[in-house]
Amino acid sequence: MSKQLNIGLFGFGCVGQGLYEVLSNSVKFKADFQKICIKHPEKKRILDQQLFTTNKWDILNDPTINTVIELIDDPQDAYIIVTEALKRNKNVVTANKKLVAEHLEELLELQRKHHVSLIHEAAVCGGIPIIRTLEEYYDNERLTSITGIFNGSSNYILTKVFKENQSYQGALEQAQKLGFAETDPTLDVGGFDPKYKLVILALHAFGIILKPKDVLNCGIQNISSIEKNVYDDSSLQIKLTPSIQRLPNGHIQAFVLPQLIGTTHPLYNINNEYNAVIVEGIFSNEQLFIGKGAGAHPTGSAVLSDISALCYDYKYEYKKYYHHQNISLDNSAKIKLYFSGEKQNLEKIFGEDRAIEVENGGVVLAEESIQWVIDHQKQIEALSLFVAQIHNEALVPLQKWLKKYELVYALT
Ligand SMILES: NC(=O)c1ccc[n+]([C@@H]2O[C@H](COP(=O)([O-])OP(=O)(O)OC[C@H]3O[C@@H](n4cnc5c(N)ncnc54)[C@H](OP(=O)(O)O)[C@@H]3O)[C@@H](O)[C@H]2O)c1
């Protein structure tokens, strides 16, 4: 039987208002907000001013409110709101990936202890229903990898730079104006936002709790005209792709790196603010999910779906976590890597004979482990080098492109 939800909403910004609009257009599902907590009381609202409060305890201490929807942009306060709501036996829906990724263990324990549910579909790839798909559809399948494009703003920037000849800075400013990019763009272009999402998916897909600080993230900030030349001459594109893979030893490799991909790669035509998730299982093989990763309505629709699930007391079961715990993060496997930047800067890491001189700088192809990149990350950043994984189908076109410079680095 459907349960009566008495909702306290936190945040009435992009997603909060998006949720309200999606709800208003829902024919079958009706839910009322008892109270809405916001930060700035002076802002004009589209709803009755009486509904709003700036005091979070008005919602948290109200025993008639059994459901909290957390959609604010302040991670510290979001942590207090979510944990205090769970402790007061309220079910919670949140869209906050950083909060969830950084406190997974504690949030699981609070749910277990207080017999409540915390669901967070909107925190990962906005409108793509990936978490419940992993929890319900793939609950018994041994997955081998998850990758994709989890950050709409960096994908938007890369599309504008490669396909529309815009400058990186111009494309970033446009992404901010359109509301895709976070106020602090490093979270997007530095690969932090997709890392939080990867950490959440790792739990649902592989049953492992990763600490964000242990997962490598390199971003697209140091992309340059060299990569644009690669694209113009060989059609190879850069995408910022988080990736989790099950290694032959059963452990997990996880990282966020830009990736050089060829025209046959399933992510090649995922452009602008679109997100995609590729799930690969031993028996199901490869499945590709595409959708809008952000924005008021796609995200509001994911929140609405979570609210509606709470009417039936839905809980994530975390079957993979509770039943198969013997896996850990393993950064030792080697992957094929592409580095670019000023030739003399590349030489500081790789020595004089490794950097291939190309127009406007140098390139190095290497085969190193993720641990090696983590160990050299500070130096890579200080030298403003761009690093990307080379996907299989991109290697031959990349080597052909380098032949143009009559220097071929033989990568076995
Ligand atoms: N935007 C997206 O497309 C998207 C997609 C997926 C997930 N998310 C996540 O959804 C959450 C909300 O994002 P958003 O884009 O909707 O943010 P936003 O447009 O900046 O709105 C934030 C809202 O939170 C309120 N607020 C801020 N601090 C508060 C506090 N301490 N107590 C109570 N209310 C507070 C603000 O109040 P005022 O109105 O008074 O300023 C505002 O209504 C974030 O976790 C974000 O990462 C967003």
- Which pLDDT belongs to residue 1? 58
Residue nearest to atom 15 of ligand 1 (CA): 14
Q: Is residue 239 annotated as a catalytic residue, yes or no? A: no
Mean pLDDT across 20-44: 91
184 CA distance to ligand 1 middle (Å): 14
CATH superfamily for 129-292+323-412 is: Dihydrodipicolinate Reductase; domain 2 (3.30.360.10)
Residue with tokens 């076995």: 412
Does residue 238 contact residue 259 with C-beta atoms inside 8 Å?
Answer: yes
Q: Where are the beta strands (DSSP E) in 220-329?
A: 237-246, 252-261, 274-281, 285-292
Spatial CB neighbours of 174, under 8 Å, sequence gap ≥ 6: 156, 160, 166
**Class assignment of domain 7-119?**
alpha beta
Residue nearest to atom 45 of ligand 1 (CA): 96
User: From the CB of 77, is ligand 1 less than 6 Å away?
Assistant: yes
109 CA distance to ligand 1 middle (Å): 26
Average pLDDT in the chain: 94
79 CA distance to ligand 1 middle (Å): 13
pLDDT band (50, 70, 90) for residue 51: very high
Locate the domains of the chain by residue range.
Answer: 7-119, 129-292+323-412
293 CA distance to ligand 1 middle (Å): 16
Mean pLDDT across 77-82: 98
Q: Is the pLDDT of residue 272 over 90?
A: yes
- Which pLDDT belongs to residue 412? 45
Q: Would you give the distance in Å from CA 167 to the centre of its chain?
A: 24
Radius of gyration of the chain (CA): 22
User: From the CB of 79, is ligand 1 less than 6 Å away?
Assistant: no
Amino acid letter at 63? P
Active-site pick, 56, 98, 195, 197: 197
For residue 242, the tally of other CB atoms under 10 A from its CB is 28
